[in-house]
């Protein structure tokens, strides 16, 4: 007869041993046997894509030279990977313009613009562009 104290110990050992069991080792199919895949279960989910935000302002679609001719020398000019960011700042706001080439070998064009006040709050992009023009 198993004593009550030994029952807890036996259960703990059984759980430890069960945790050691791993998945079966897959074996290659014998030569000449057709490899089969299990049928998919349910519909295949569509790939996740980020929503594309389309902006309309006077900088989108123009090159770096257009922004520099409007605002002068940028406060920051940062290249990261395939992208480039120019930052222009004035008393009214800070403007970040992001440039990416539409295809390999093409000239990078402005694809996105962010504007914020000096305290970090969002600012109107068109208003900021107007305020920063020289």
**Residue 70 structural domain:** 62-132
pLDDT, one tens digit per residue, over 73-99 is 999 999 999 999 999 999 999 999 999
Residue 12 in domain:
no
Residue 34 in domain:
no
Residue 57 in domain:
no
Residue 15 in domain:
no
Residue 111 in domain:
yes
Q: What pLDDT was estimated at residue 56? A: 77
Residue 2 in domain:
no
Above 80 in pLDDT, residue 70? yes
Above 70 in pLDDT, residue 4? no
CB 35 within 8 A of CB 29: yes
**pTM greater than 0.85 (yes/no):** no
Above 50 in pLDDT, residue 49? no
**Cα end-to-end distance, the chain, whole Å:** 95
Residue 118 in domain:
yes
Nearest CA to 83 among 59, 109, 57, 62?
109
Q: What pLDDT was estimated at residue 55? A: 74
Residue 90 in domain:
yes
Q: Report how far residue 48's alpha carbon sits from residue 120's, in angstroms, rounded to the nearest whole number.
A: 30
pLDDT, one tens digit per residue, over 114-132 is 999 999 999 999 999 999 9
Domains identified in the chain, total number: 1
CATH of the domain at 118: 3.10.450
């Amino acid at each position: 007869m198993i004593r009550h104290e030994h029952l807890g110990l036996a259960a703990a050992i059984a759980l430890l041993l069960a945790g050691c069991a791993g998945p079966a080792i897959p074996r290659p199919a014998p030569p000449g046997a057709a490899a089969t895949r299990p049928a998919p279960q349910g519909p295949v989910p569509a790939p996740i894509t980020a929503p594309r935000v389309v902006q309309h302002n006077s900088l989108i679609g123009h090159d770096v030279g257009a922004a520099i001719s409007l605002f002068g020398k940028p406060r920051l000019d940062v290249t990261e990977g395939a992208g480039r960011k120019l930052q222009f700042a004035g008393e009214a706001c800070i403007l970040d313009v992001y440039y990416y080439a539409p295809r390999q070998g093409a000239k990078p064009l402005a694809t996105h613009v962010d504007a914020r006040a000096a305290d970090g709050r969002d600012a109107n992009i068109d208003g900021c562009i107007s305020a920063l023009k020289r």
